[in-house]
Chains A and B, each alone.
Chain A
C-alpha cells in the first residue's frame, strides 16, 4: 500500500539555521508529492508540491525535490525564522485525489 515516512521529531533550531525534514514514500505508480504546514490552532495549508520526478517545489523559502530514485521528497530551508514554527506534513496523492499523510514533524525555532 501507499505510505509516507517522515523523520522523527520534534526538531528544535535557532533562528537562521538550516532546516532539513526528511520524507520518504512507498507508492505504486507515480504519485504527486506535497508538503503541508499546520500552524498552532489552524488547519493544514499547502506549502509546496511536485507532480513528477525531478520537479522542485518551492514556496516561502522552502524547497523540496521529487527524487524518484530514492523515493524521497525532503523539505529544506536555508534560514529558518521563529514564524516557521509549526508542524510539517509530507503527503502523497494517488489516483482519485486521495492524500496519504506522514505523521508530521514538529518544528520549533528559537530566537
Chain B
C-alpha cells in the first residue's frame, strides 16, 4: 500500500539553528499538507499546497517557517531559526480528492534544546 514518506524520523537541534523536514506524498496526490502536533493536542495546519501552489498558509509563522513544493511532488518545510517552542511532531499528509480523506506520514519529531 502506498504511503506518505517523511524524513528524518527524529531531529534534535539547538535553538537558533536551522532545520528542514522532507515529505514525499502518495503518487498522484495533488494536495499536500504540513501539520504541527504539540504533545497532547490535535494537529494544526501550517500550510496546504495544491500542486506547487500554496492555497493556505494563514497559520504558518512566516518570520521563521518556510515551505516549498517546487515541482508539485515532494515538499520541504524549513525552520530558521528554531526556537524552544517549536518542539513538536511535524506531520505531512496528502490527499487525492480534497474531501477530507488525508493520508498521513509517520511524522518528524523535533526537539529543540
Residues on A with C-beta less than 8 A from B43 are: 44, 89, 99, 101
What number of A residues sit within 8 Å (CB to CB) of B? 23
**B104: interface (CB < 8 Å):** yes
Q: Given the complex of chains A and B, what is the CA–CA distance between A34 and B86 in angstroms?
A: 27
> Which stretch in A11-19, A66-74, A76-84, A90-98 binds the other chain?
A90-98
Using an 8 Å CB-CB cutoff, how does the interface string of A25-51 with B read, 1 for contact, 0 for none? 000000010100000011111100101
Chain A's nearest CB lies how many Å from the CB of B13? 22
**B87: interface (CB < 8 Å):** no
Q: Given the complex of chains A and B, what is the CA–CA distance between A43 and B23 in angstroms?
A: 13
Please provide the chain B residues from 59 to 113 with a CB less than 8 Å away from any CB of chain A in the complex.
91, 93, 95, 98-107
**B14: interface (CB < 8 Å):** no
Q: Given the complex of chains A and B, what is the CA–CA distance between A97 and B100 in angstroms?
A: 6
By the criterion CB–CB under 8 Å, are B99 and A96 in contact? no
By the criterion CB–CB under 8 Å, are A45 and B100 in contact? no
By the criterion CB–CB under 8 Å, are A42 and B45 in contact? no
What number of B residues sit within 8 Å (CB to CB) of A? 24
A residues in contact (CB < 8 Å) with B: 4, 32, 34, 41-46, 49, 51, 89, 91, 93, 96-104
Chain A's nearest CB lies how many Å from the CB of B82? 23
Q: Given the complex of chains A and B, what is the CA–CA distance between A4 and B7 in angstroms?
A: 30
By the criterion CB–CB under 8 Å, are A46 and B102 in contact? yes
Residues on A with C-beta less than 8 A from B45 are: 98-100
Nearest chain-B residue to A32 (Cβ)?
B100
Q: Given the complex of chains A and B, what is the CA–CA distance between A101 and B107 in angstroms?
A: 16
Q: Given the complex of chains A and B, what is the CA–CA distance between A46 and B96 in angstroms?
A: 14
Chain A's nearest CB lies how many Å from the CB of B68? 20
Neighbour of A96 across the interface among B4, B40, B56, B106, CB < 8 A: B56
- Given known pairs A4-B42, A103-B40, the reply for A97 and B106 (CB within 8 Å) is no
